[in-house]
Amino acid sequence: MIKAIIFDMDGTLYDTEAVYKIAWIKAGIPEETYYKLIGRSRVNIRQILFDEGFDVDKVCQKKAEYTQELLKDGIPLKSGVIETLSFLKENGFKTAIATSSAIEVAKKYLAQTNMEQFFDKTISGNRLEHGKPAPDIFLYAAQELNASPSECMVVEDSYNGVMAGVNAKMHTVMIPDLVPADEFMQKSANAILDSLKELPEYINKINASK
């Protein structure tokens, strides 16, 4: 039985990956490099940028400034977020956010969108040694929710996030955002959904089959 749902944040709950893409490119990062950054922790991102010869501090500062400007009118939600989170809360599921973003960013987004009520735990991979695609963040989230990996479902939008869920041996659902599900993702994830709106019905179907 699935008892706990662990969500990625950017690109899964919030329609922010498209914003980050614009911000990184305006900061001087090529599009092909940007795609390497999706789902990565701050440490991993900085290492990738360093390895590719960028002035890491300068680029990251510019990206942060552009992001703040692009989000000045609010944090955009992905379609079906409130309906799905309300369903989970009403039906007693444990919930967590497991994000590669800083914990301060996650808490800011939740506060600005009045969504704190929907989550039992909010976890940042920046506090862990190994970021996605390593399973650490999802295994830690399961511990915090007092749930076994077999009782957890991971909901992700990125390649690195999906592989982290798979590596954690959790039921892993991909809802693609900027990057479509390729053949490897289709084989790796337990399911590929078009929208969060489909998640409640899918969870009911999985639990009914147990």
| H/E stretch holding 73 | none
Strands (E), the chain: 4-7, 94-99, 121-124, 152-156, 171-174, 191-192
Instruction: Name the pTM for this structure.
Output: 0.91
Q: Give me the pLDDT at residue 74, please.
A: 93
What domains appear along the chain, each with residue ranges and CATH number?
A: 4-15+76-208 (3.40.50.1000), 17-70 (no CATH)
In this prediction, residues 171-194 reach a mean pLDDT of: 96
Rounded to 5 degrees, φ, ψ at 106 are -60, -45
Q: Give me the pLDDT at residue 129, please.
A: 83
142 Cβ contact list (under 8 Å, min separation 6): 4, 6, 148, 149, 151, 152, 168, 170
In this prediction, residues 168-190 reach a mean pLDDT of: 96
Query: In the structure encoding, which two tokens stand for residue 87, read together?
Result: 């369903």
Residue environment code for 196-209, b if the CB has 16+ CB neighbours within 10 A, otherwise e: beebbebbeebeee
Rounded to the nearest 10 degrees, how much is the dihedral formed by the CA atoms of 166, 100, 38, 178?
80
168 Cβ contact list (under 8 Å, min separation 6): 135, 138, 139, 142, 149, 152, 154
- The residues pairing with 191 across neighbouring beta strands, listed in sequence order, are 173
pLDDT at 127 over 80: no
pLDDT in tens, 152-163: 999 999 999 999
| H/E stretch holding 106 | helix 103-112
If you compute the radius of gyration of the chain from its CA atoms, what whole number of angstroms results? Answer: 16
